[in-house]
Each structure stands twice: as structure tokens, then as C-alpha cells.
């Protein structure tokens, strides 16, 4: 990552609440062709640092992205806010003296841009100002939120518009918290009366169908390091649980993938 910093835009796309098993199955069965083309090796299974949006994102912005589920995998982090005793920062890690990597990237000349999705980004309360408050620029509206069936298109179009308005030589750290997969997602299957694994998968297919909007905007700017990963999964009755904030494998196991775009 030290070799890419300053020459590449950095983009993180977080499909909020996306489960690994659903993401893997949809990619294997052809349900997400755009993501499959972008990530030909498929999804990497990782473990989230949090069981719901707020703690997971607090960890992400401190440099603690989902960790490999394979215990033999390299656990060296891409970014880290410097602190004594860290065992996962190495030669390839970008170290920041700032308390979080968003402000660290800003100090290195990046414009930091957040496109919010779920309620923790809506700035309607002091709590929901915390996560978007990391960024120099942040956006949220009812149309980008969890209840709008066209939120993925709207979020990607907003990101594309802003990327087109920022001069190419100004490097950008773009963060998109996608709301479509988070409940309620029953509106992605006409007639469905409740959220379930099928509507979860349908929401992911909707996200995939809109992904080219963002990709075209990114390719028009120059080289990009892109990460797509979930913050947590969610449950639909497994072991008697519904939702998240539980210590369940389907919540902590998330998809992760990386790509370099020319």
C-alpha cells in the first residue's frame, strides 16, 4: 500500500449487512456478473471486527479491516493508526500518526468523500454524526437510505457525479456504505411480505446491476485501488435469531475482495 499511496484513488465499497454465504453463492451461480468480472478469484472469506455497523466501521476507520478467515494467511494490515504493541502493521502498512486513517489520508493530500447509506450516516442525531464526521465531505438522504428501493443506483450516481466534479490530479478516498442489502430488503422481490435469504440475495443482485455506474466513473479518473467488503452479516431466523448484534458465525463471516483498476 505504501507504493500506491499518492498515485491511486482509494475506494471502499461496503454493502452493509451482506453475508458471505449469500455473496459466494450468487457469484458462483452467475447472479452477480459485474462483481464476478471485477473479482475473478471470487470472494475471500474474512471475519468482521464488529457484529453491527457502528463498531465495525469504527474499526475500519482505525485500519482494522476484516481479517482473513484462514489462520495461515498474512494478517499484515494495509493501513494503521500508529499505536504501541501493534502486531499486524508491517513493511507494507501505511502508518498514520492521526487517530484514524481517514484524517491520515487527508493529511497526505487525499480528499475524503463519504456516501452514506444506513442510519448511522444520516447526521440526524449526535451518534449518527460520528461516522460521516470523519470525512471532509459526506452525503446522505432518504433516497440513499435503507427504505428506498433504488438506493444503490442513487448512491452510485451521486458518487460518480462527485468524482467527475473533482479534478483528476486531486486524489480521492471514496467510501460508500451501500444500504440496499440491509433490511428492509423485501421490496427486491415483488410480492414478498418479509425479509429472508431470497430477498437478501435479490438485493445483492440489484447492487451488482448498478455497479458499472461507479466503475465507469472510477476508470475515467485514473488508477484506483478498490476494496469491496461487508461490515457484518444478518440473520433470518437461524438458531432462533433475526437481525444482527449477535455472536453468530453468519454475522461475523463476511466477503472481501480487492482490485486494481487502470
DSSP string, 156-218: HHHHHHHHHHS-TTS-EEEEEEE-TTSSP-GGGSTT--S--HHHHHHHHHHHHHHHHHHHHHH
Distance of CA 216 to the CA centre of its chain: 18
How many degrees, rounded to 5, is the angle at CA 22 between CA 249 and CA 114? 90
Residue 67, pLDDT score:
97
Q: What is the pLDDT along the chain (262 residues), one digit of tens a residue?
A: 999 999 999 999 999 999 999 999 999 999 999 999 999 999 999 999 999 999 999 999 999 999 999 999 999 999 999 998 889 998 889 999 999 999 999 999 999 999 999 999 999 999 999 999 999 999 999 999 999 999 999 999 999 999 999 999 999 999 999 999 999 999 999 999 999 999 999 999 999 999 999 999 999 998 999 999 999 999 999 999 999 999 999 999 999 999 999 8
The pTM (predicted TM-score) of the whole model is 0.97
Residue 222, pLDDT score:
87
Instruction: Please return the burial class of 99, using the count of CB atoms within 10 Å of its CB with bins 0-12, 13-18 and 19+.
Output: middle
> Can you say whether residue 192 is alpha, beta or left, with left for phi > 0 and alpha for psi between -120 and 50 degrees?
beta
Four-residue CA torsion sign, 14, 259, 34, 165? positive
Residue 142, pLDDT score:
97
Residue 97, CA distances (Å) to 22, 94, 106, 109, 176 in order: 38, 10, 12, 15, 24
Q: How far apart are the first and last CA of the chain?
A: 16
Amino acid at each position: 500500500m505504501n507504493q500506491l499511496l499518492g498515485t491511486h484513488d482509494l475506494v471502499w465499497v461496503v454493502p452493509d449487512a451482506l453475508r458471505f454465504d449469500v455473496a459466494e453463492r450468487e457469484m458462483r451461480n452467475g447472479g452477480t456478473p459485474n462483481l464476478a468480472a471485477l473479482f475473478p478469484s471470487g470472494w475471500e472469506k474474512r471475519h468482521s471486527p464488529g457484529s453491527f455497523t457502528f463498531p465495525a466501521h469504527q474499526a475500519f476507520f482505525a485500519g482494522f479491516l476484516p481479517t482473513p478467515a484462514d489462520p495461515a494467511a498474512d494478517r499484515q494490515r494495509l493501513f494503521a493508526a500508529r499505536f504501541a504493541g501493534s502486531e499486524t502493521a508491517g513493511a507494507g502498512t501505511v502508518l498514520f500518526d492521526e487517530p484514524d486513517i481517514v484524517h491520515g489520508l487527508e493529511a497526505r493530500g487525499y480528499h475524503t468523500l463519504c456516501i452514506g447509506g444506513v442510519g448511522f450516516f444520516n447526521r440526524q442525531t449526535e451518534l449518527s454524526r460520528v461516522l460521516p464526521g470523519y470525512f471532509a465531505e459526506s452525503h446522505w438522504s432518504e433516497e440513499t437510505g435503507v427504505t428506498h428501493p433504488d438506493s444503490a443506483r442513487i448512491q452510485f450516481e451521486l458518487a460518480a457525479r462527485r468524482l467527475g466534479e473533482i479534478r483528476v490530479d486531486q486524489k480521492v478516498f471514496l467510501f460508500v456504505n451501500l444500504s440496499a442489502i440491509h433490511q428492509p430488503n423485501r421490496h427486491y422481490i415483488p410480492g414478498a411480505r418479509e425479509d429472508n435469504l431470497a430477498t437478501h440475495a435479490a438485493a445483492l443482485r440489484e447492487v451488482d446491476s448498478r455497479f458499472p455506474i461507479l466503475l465507469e466513473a472510477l476508470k475515467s479518473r485514473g488508477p484506483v485501488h478498490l476494496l469491496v467488503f461487508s461490515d457484518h452479516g444478518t440473520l433470518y431466523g437461524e438458531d432462533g435469531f433475526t437481525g444482527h448484534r449477535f455472536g453468530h458465525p453468519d454475522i461475523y463471516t463476511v466477503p472481501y475482495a480487492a482490485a486494481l483498476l487502470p
